[in-house]
Structure 1
Amino acid sequence: MNQIILASHGPLAQGMKESIEFFLGPTSIVCLTQTKEESGLQQEIESVLRACAGRHVIVFTDMIGGSVNQMFTRALEHHDFLLVSFMHLGLILECVLQQGNIDASMLQEMIDATKRQCLLMNEWMDQQQQDGEE
């Protein structure tokens, strides 16, 4: 089974978990938050990753290059997990619903599909209308 960890600056991770649980009910998703004050996040990361040793872990951080993402990137040197530098509700839902372990190749396919879902709807609707007129 996949263990999902959401980590963000501020309440984004907790909000994503709450949105997922709106659809699915209670989950085992772990949320970690970086606050403006020193929060001891690095120690929390180490503790959570040690507790998840031997499990299949996927971590989603809020943005590439941010301090939260950097801490998890450093943790890759000592822990085995997949790290995604973006939180997308549909992608996380898909991971939570996946019955078997998600490997890097499968996760990359899921990410690629997610990228295709990011659209400027105004242009998409205009294109749909144009296609309908032809």
Structure 2
Amino acid sequence: MNKILIASHGHLASGIQSSLDILTGLGKEVSVIDAYVDDRDYTKDIKTFVEDLHGKTGVIFTDLLGGSVNQKVMLEVAQQKNIFVITGTNLAIVLSVALSTDSVTKESLQELIAASQVQLVEVSHDDTNLSDDSFLE
């Protein structure tokens, strides 16, 4: 499994970790930062994640592009060519990366991001596609 850190405002990161654990059992393999839920300086947790990679590839997910969590992550990984940062995180992209058996590359991440983006849709109770499994394909 790829090394993963999820960092968010509030408890979104640990919530995604919990969902990942329920769906795959991999929740404990993912590091999380729930920022601003207490007075702790979470910058140290970012640095620890980076150091623990020992030059191997890692993926950091943040919640909001340009948000304070994303900004702090970017400051800590600015010179790290082995770390990819994805923002606007959803469960679909985290699942995709966590379940990927291949080491992440820029190209493979672009494909996973594109596939995860199409999962953000409005579903209406009037949607006739909900009566069959075609929307799962």
TM superposition score normalised by structure 2:
0.83
Q: Distance in 1 between matches of 2:53 and 2:110?
A: 22
Runs of 4+ in 1 over 4 A off after TM superposition: none
- Is the 8 Å Cα contact of residues 58 and 84 (structure 1) preserved in structure 2? yes
- Report the secondary structure of 2:34's partner residue: strand
Q: Greater CA deviation, 36-45 or 68-77?
A: 36-45
Q: Which runs of 5+ in 2 are unaligned?
A: 131-137
Q: How high is the sequence identity, in percent, across the aligned residues?
A: 25
Within 5 A, what are the aligned runs for 1:1-134?
1-26=1-26, 27-79=28-80, 80-122=82-124, 125=127
Report the aligned-residue RMSD.
2.1
Q: Distance in 1 between matches of 2:84 and 2:8?
A: 16
- Is the 8 Å Cα contact of residues 3 and 57 (structure 2) preserved in structure 1? yes
Q: Distance in 2 between matches of 1:20 and 1:37?
A: 24
**Which residue identity lines up with residue 18 of structure 2 in the other structure?**
E
Q: Distance in 2 between matches of 1:2 and 1:81?
A: 11
User: How many matched pairs?
Assistant: 128
Q: Identify, as 1 or 2, the structure richer in helix.
A: 1
Quote the offset at 1:123 in angstroms: 9.5
Q: Distance in 2 between matches of 1:106 and 1:78?
A: 21
TM superposition score normalised by structure 1:
0.85
Q: Which residue does 2:134 correspond to in 1?
A: none
